[in-house]
Amino acid sequence: MTSPHDRGSLSAFPIGRRRLLAGASAGALGLGLAPFGRAFAQAKRFDGQSLNLMIIQPHVVAGRYLAEAWEKLTGGKVNVTAVPYDQLQAKATLDVQSGTNNFDVIDYWYTGVGALANDGIIVDVTDRIERDKAEIQPDDYLRSIYDPYTLADGKRWGLPYDGDSHLLFYNTEIFGRHGLKAPTTWDEYLERSKAITEAEKANGIYGAAVLGGKAPIIIGASYTNRLAGFGGRYLKEDGSSALDESAAVEAAKALKDAAPSALPTPLETRFEEGLPAFLSGKVAMIEFWSDLGVYAQDPKGSKIVDKWDAVRIPVGGSNKTSRLALNSGFAFAISSGSEKQEHAWEFIKFATSAKTGLGLLLTTGSGIDPDRTSTLNAPEYKQFAPKVQTALAGALENGLPWPNGPESPQLMQVLADELALILADQKAPEEAIAAAHEQWTAIIGS
Amino acid sequence: MALAESIDTARTDAPARRRRWRLGNASLASPLVVTLALTTLYPLVALVALSLSKSTLGKPLRDWAGIANFTRVLGDPAFLASLWRSAAFAFPMAAVELVLGLALALLFHRLVRAGRVFTSLALLPLMTPPVMVGVAWKLIFAADGGLLNGWLRAAGLIDAPMSFLGSSSWAAVAIVVADAWQWTPFVALLCFAAIKGLSEEVMEAARLDGATAWQRFRHITLPLLVPTLAAVFLLRLVMAFKLFDLVYVLTFGGPGFDTTTSGFQIWRLAFEQFDVGRAAAATLVFVGFVSLVIWPASRAARRLEARYT
Amino acid sequence: MTLAAHPARPQAPHRWSWIDLVAVLVAAAFLLPLAYLLSVSFKSPDQVLSGSFLPEAPTLANWPAAFGATALTRFIVNSVLTAVLGGVVTILIALPAAYACLRLDKAGERLVSIAFGSFVAPPIVAAIPFFFLLKAAGLLNSVVGLALVYGLTNVPVALWLLMPFLRRIPREIEDAAAIDGAGPLVTLVRVIAPLVAPGIAATAIIVVILGYNEFLFASVFTFADETRTLTVGISLFQGDRLVNFGQMAAASLAGIAPIYLIALLAQRWLVAGLTEGSVK
């Protein structure tokens, strides 16, 4: 969504160091000396050609940024089509499977990579990555992100451009009022939340917002934060369900325990309810994507400028090492129906490069988070979002991924249903997780 | 006499004319036949084919599945529950809207320039995009910061926010309220027109005879309106069975599964799990179920129509 | 044949009674959600879920922002085009069909029940075969294609609405036309249609509104801003992480305006039309 934020000046967009010619032509472009630029064939390589990009609505600002930057660099046009984030996979699938082949580059949620690959919707780019290794620098990608986002069935299918994870954001002013420090364990989180809610709910202020809306990406994210905190995981090494491990149940219990003192009511709290509540100072804690830090500092939409901080997701149970949950997270792939696959691949390399990635990170409203070691630790990013950067660095490298095999959509929907039943007080946590485990075993096994 | 001649001609021409007419009528109806072939027959065949196969959105008609999809659907307690739930929503919704709509129409009938004013206003809820109807009511019913909660608190009736959309019983009520808001005007409009069409002389005569308003209503107005009411009820009933948009925006089928109607469940199968084969089987089962449930209502409606026409 | 034309009664000056007051209150209650939407369109994101009706610090920013955030004008134009074109197609198919089915007795009845039967099914899974059909016809991602889909799928509703009007037409009128040598088509066009013109107008308005508000097919069959409709556009607002309700409300209200104007213009026919059709 185009917010009233500025889109970041493109002069912050760094010039490629390897190509002096490209650098010179970029400089020439900057001076408006386009004809000179055109003389350098590489700069205007795709002049007059166009690509169709499908991107999720929350990233439409990033999409437009990429389109503009690409056109400035290569003369090629990018037609950006935004889709609601919950229609991404369906649209990409229908597009290819029906033979429409409207899109060349598609944005995909990493949990869908297995299904998309299995259905033949996206192109196997293993060889291309190998060939263009030097340019892409795949080793720069965070280890915990690169494989889950791109690896399916032993092959690679795309390149990451947005490495999402949740952090625990808290309101320093409210915490200060109660003399509280940031929680490091889920027990502390619960204590703090209860204390604040007890004291201030008459004024409409609550200890925490728990996002429990029934869609997998919403309630699944809240659960995965706790699962990661308790040292749990979704799948065992052999690919079978790990929901029978104790961490899975402990995480579910923690979710349920958090509900009573949370912003009313978790089941009704989706992003659009939780986020404004935090930004207007009505809740003291929220687990949300790291780019919330950027929103919180924007005076046009936030009442808590400089009154917040971010820490890593708390730990729980016997686990003492903080681990972030890879909630959401997106990559670009070539649509298998595209007739401009080489062109599409060039764009993808550009869009996912460290340089472009940094530019996106520094753009308010882009919705993009770091996915490379270089960008995560870049001094410009540290300066732009210091609190977030401190929390991410050192923990994101070890994130907990969601399942990403072909059955992933079904698995997560089953889990989301059971979790919703827990929050609706219709099932006990043990019962619900056991039921989920049973169904997961049936789905994976088939 | 020219008239006698033309009557004679008419009589002898009758059989040929009837044949020409039947042919002409058939050709008038032919676009409908083509339409039905495209909108009913073709999707039906596709549905049946999909339901008998293992199909995903990405790989339709991958494999023969026989009746596996049907057994899974019929054996799924969640889906069966959604069938009853759809009926449990549809009948009360249609009934409430019928009663309210009739009451509204009677109310506005008395106003002089009611015609223009009423229809202008009545169209507004109808023309609001369904997603927006859902969002507006979501903002009204929201537990924290919702309009209704704000008013209840300001009036001192409650001191903590009440959860409407997150509570099993209230969520259903919320959906019915939102749906009634959107469709009652539609019903009212049709009733209003029907009332307007009632013969003034009969009403006047009844008034002169000393009948009270209630007696006039019960013995004259209501019987004359019954055919319209029956038809409107049936139409709204069928539409109500397909309830989807409000569930999607207001509750997403929750809390738990408490507001998961069949329409929503089918959407989940097709677009969240991408299991198109099962979604197709579920659709067919649903159509069968609705036809079964509606049949008595439709027969009653037709009988009422015949009795009161 | 204006059956509803009674000898004019002298209009007594209307005296306001308590029933009128109730009527006004009821009307206000019905308009409340829309008034609330209007108010929301002037609220910034942090004021939306504040529990109060009016914004504490009204802002005009949402309205231009709504038009800037998406191709809203284009979406509205597309909605109007698909809905109106679809309505025309629906009437062109349904009117002759309703008339013919009434005259074709048994066969007609069966045809009509099939049409009603198809109306029962949720369109969700039907979207997929339609998708392939449109693709085969090269009509995907086009206003014309979507209008055709609306035109065809709204025929059952149009049939349901038109048949009561046509039933009222006495057979003598047809016989008279037949004696003059006219066939069914000419009879329909020259004689019947003018008689039920208000009914046709009423049906047309309703199917146009149905097409205007349709979401599922629009979102599946279109994928570029040039062809998307208003309902899809609004879903884009909803499909964001930080939903800007103010902009969404502004977009919806802006979207209602054109169709409301069209309906206002034709609403004179609407009441008269529905009136005439229901007279026994």
Residues C48 and C68 in one domain: no
B150 within some domain: yes
- Which tokens is B44 given? 């039906």
Give chain B positions within 8 Å (CB) of A282: 144-145
Residues C192 and C246 in one domain: yes
Question: Reduced to 3 states, what is the DSSP secondary structure of residue C136?
Answer: helix
Distance CA A223, CA A245 (A): 15
CB contact under 8 A, A1 and C240: yes
CB contact under 8 A, B165 and A268: yes
Angle CA(B25)–CA(B29)–CA(B30) in degrees, nearest 5? 115
Distances (CA, A) of B152 to A119, B138, B149: 52, 16, 5
**Nearest of A422, A360, A442 to residue A70 by alpha carbon:** A360
Residue in A106, A265, A335 to test binding to B, most B beta-carbons within 10 Å: A265
Q: What was the pLDDT predicted at B11?
A: 66
Lookup result for tokens 């491990």: A245
Name the range with the highest mean pLDDT among A283-292, C112-121, C162-171: A283-292
Q: What totals of helices (H) and strands (E) does chain B contain, helices first?
A: 14, 2
For residues B169-185, average pLDDT: 91
Sign of CA pseudo-dihedral C255, C256, C259, C261: negative
Residue B7 structural domain:
1-51
Distance CA B123, CA B297 (A): 28
Give chain A positions within 8 Å (CB) of C130: none
- Which tokens is A206 given? 């609550």
CB contact under 8 A, A85 and C44: no
Structural domains counted in chain B? 2
CB C151, CB C86: distance < 8 Å = yes
C250 within some domain: yes
Number of Cβ within 10 Å of residue C264's Cβ equals 14
Residues C244 and C107 in one domain: yes
Angle CA(A419)–CA(A421)–CA(A425) in degrees, nearest 5? 115
pLDDT in tens, A353-363: 999 999 998 88
* ipTM of the complex as predicted: 0.79
Give chain C positions within 8 Å (CB) of A4: 61, 65
Question: Reduced to 3 states, what is the DSSP secondary structure of residue C226?
Answer: coil
Question: Reduced to 3 states, what is the DSSP secondary structure of residue A417?
Answer: helix
Residues B111 and B36 in one domain: no
- Report strand pairing: A50-56 vs A155-156: unpaired
Give chain B positions within 8 Å (CB) of A209: none
Q: What was the pLDDT predicted at A147?
A: 92
Q: What was the pLDDT predicted at A16?
A: 39
Residues B291 and B173 in one domain: yes
Q: What was the pLDDT predicted at B191?
A: 80
Structural domains counted in chain C? 2
Is omega for the bond preceding A370 within 30 degrees of 0, making it cis?
A: no
3-state helix, strand, coil in chain C (%, to 5): 75, 0, 25
- pLDDT band with cut points at 50, 70 and 90 for residue B20: confident
CB contact under 8 A, A1 and C140: no
CB A7, CB A363: distance < 8 Å = yes
Residues B41 and B81 in one domain: no
Is it the case that residue A303 has pLDDT exceeding 90?
A: no
Selected residue with higher pLDDT from B25 and A322: A322
pLDDT in tens, B37-96: 888 888 889 888 888 988 877 677 778 888 888 998 999 888 999 999 999 999 999 999
- pLDDT band with cut points at 50, 70 and 90 for residue A243: very high
Residues B101 and B229 in one domain: yes
- pLDDT band with cut points at 50, 70 and 90 for residue B230: confident
Quote the DSSP letter at residue A185.
B
Angle between helices A216-229 and A246-258 (to 10 degrees): 120
Residues B104 and B44 in one domain: no
Chain B interface includes A431 (CB < 8 A): no
Question: Reduced to 3 states, what is the DSSP secondary structure of residue A426?
Answer: coil
Q: What was the pLDDT predicted at A3?
A: 38
Is it the case that residue A4 has pLDDT exceeding 70?
A: no
C4 within some domain: no
Residues B185 and B281 in one domain: yes
Angle between helices B2-36 and C171-179 (to 10 degrees): 110
**Nearest of C96, C53, C68 to residue C254 by alpha carbon:** C68
Q: What was the pLDDT predicted at A44?
A: 76
User: B290-299 — which CB contacts under 8 Å span 24+ positions?
Assistant: B290/B86, B290/B238, B290/B241, B290/C120, B291/C117, B291/C120, B293/B87, B294/B234, B294/B237, B294/B238, B294/B241, B294/C120, B297/B233, B297/B234, B297/B237, B298/B234
Q: What was the pLDDT predicted at C197?
A: 76
Is it the case that residue A245 has pLDDT exceeding 80?
A: yes
Residues B156 and B37 in one domain: no
Residues B165 and B82 in one domain: yes
CB C22, CB B107: distance < 8 Å = yes
Distance CA A346, CA A132 (A): 10
Nearest chain B residue to C30 by CA: give it: B181
Residues C242 and C181 in one domain: yes
Residues C50 and C135 in one domain: no
Distances (CA, A) of A296 to A169, A181, A314, A365, B139: 10, 20, 21, 11, 23
3-state helix, strand, coil in chain B (%, to 5): 80, 0, 20
Sign of CA pseudo-dihedral A294, A298, A303, A307: positive
Q: What was the pLDDT predicted at C242?
A: 74
Q: What was the pLDDT predicted at A39?
A: 45
- Which tokens is A252 given? 């579910």
- Which tokens is C247 given? 């902009």
C5 within some domain: no
Residues C134 and C226 in one domain: yes
- pLDDT band with cut points at 50, 70 and 90 for residue C235: confident
Distance CA C165, CA A152 (A): 62
Residues B82 and B193 in one domain: yes
Distances (CA, A) of C51 to B4, B146, B161, B181, C48: 80, 5, 10, 21, 8
B59 within some domain: no
CB pairs under 8 A between B and C: 276
Q: Indicate the residue type of B272.
A: E
Measure in Å the smallest separation between the Cα of C67 and chain B Cα atoms: 17
Residues B133 and B44 in one domain: no
Residues C27 and C68 in one domain: no
- pLDDT band with cut points at 50, 70 and 90 for residue C273: low
Q: What was the pLDDT predicted at B308?
A: 66
Is it the case that residue A194 has pLDDT exceeding 60?
A: yes
Question: Reduced to 3 states, what is the DSSP secondary structure of residue A330?
Answer: strand
Chain C interface includes B173 (CB < 8 A): no
Is it the case that residue B131 has pLDDT exceeding 90?
A: no
Q: Which of A57, A102, A301 sits opposite C240 (nearest CB)?
A: A57
User: C182-187 — which CB contacts under 8 Å span 24+ positions?
Assistant: C183/B20, C183/B21, C183/B24, C184/B21, C184/B24, C184/B25, C184/B27, C184/B28, C184/C99, C184/C100, C184/C103, C185/B24, C185/B27, C185/B28, C185/C96
- pLDDT band with cut points at 50, 70 and 90 for residue A422: very high
Residues B279 and B185 in one domain: yes
For residues A193-219, average pLDDT: 91
Residues C90 and C36 in one domain: no
B62 within some domain: no
CB contact under 8 A, C135 and A56: no
Is it the case that residue A176 has pLDDT exceeding 60?
A: yes
Q: Indicate the residue type of C45.
A: P
C9 within some domain: no
CB C277, CB C166: distance < 8 Å = no
Least confident of A20-34, A377-391, B33-47, C250-264: A20-34
Lookup result for tokens 């065949």: B45
Selected residue with higher pLDDT from C1 and A187: A187
Structural domains of chain A in order of their starting residue, each with its CATH number: 45-164+328-398 (3.40.190.10), 166-325+407-445 (3.40.190.10)
Residues C30 and C157 in one domain: no
CB B254, CB B230: distance < 8 Å = no
Nearest chain C residue to A275 by CA: give it: C242
Residues B293 and B231 in one domain: yes
CB contact under 8 A, A87 and C239: yes
Nearest chain C residue to B13 by CA: give it: C179
Q: What was the pLDDT predicted at A5?
A: 36
Residue C24 structural domain:
16-59
Residues C82 and C166 in one domain: yes
Q: What was the pLDDT predicted at C270?
A: 55
Residue in C6, C14, C91, C124 to test binding to B, most B beta-carbons within 10 Å: C124
Selected residue with higher pLDDT from A37 and A359: A359
CB contact under 8 A, A119 and B163: no
CATH number at residue B158: 1.10.3720.10
CB contact under 8 A, A98 and C48: no
CB C81, CB C89: distance < 8 Å = no
Measure in Å the smallest separation between the Cα of A304 and chain C Cα atoms: 11
Q: Which of B168, B253, B272 sits opposite A409 (nearest CB)?
A: B272
Residues C212 and C116 in one domain: yes
CB A414, CB A440: distance < 8 Å = yes
Distance CA B185, CA C217 (A): 25
Lookup result for tokens 């409430």: B96
Name the range with the highest mean pLDDT among A288-297, A395-404, B106-115, B293-302: A395-404
For residues B270-297, average pLDDT: 87
B114 within some domain: yes
C52 within some domain: yes
First-to-last alpha carbon distance for chain A, in angstroms, is 40
Residues C150 and C199 in one domain: yes
C273 within some domain: yes
pLDDT in tens, C172-230: 777 777 777 777 777 777 777 777 777 787 788 889 989 998 988 998 888 888 889 99
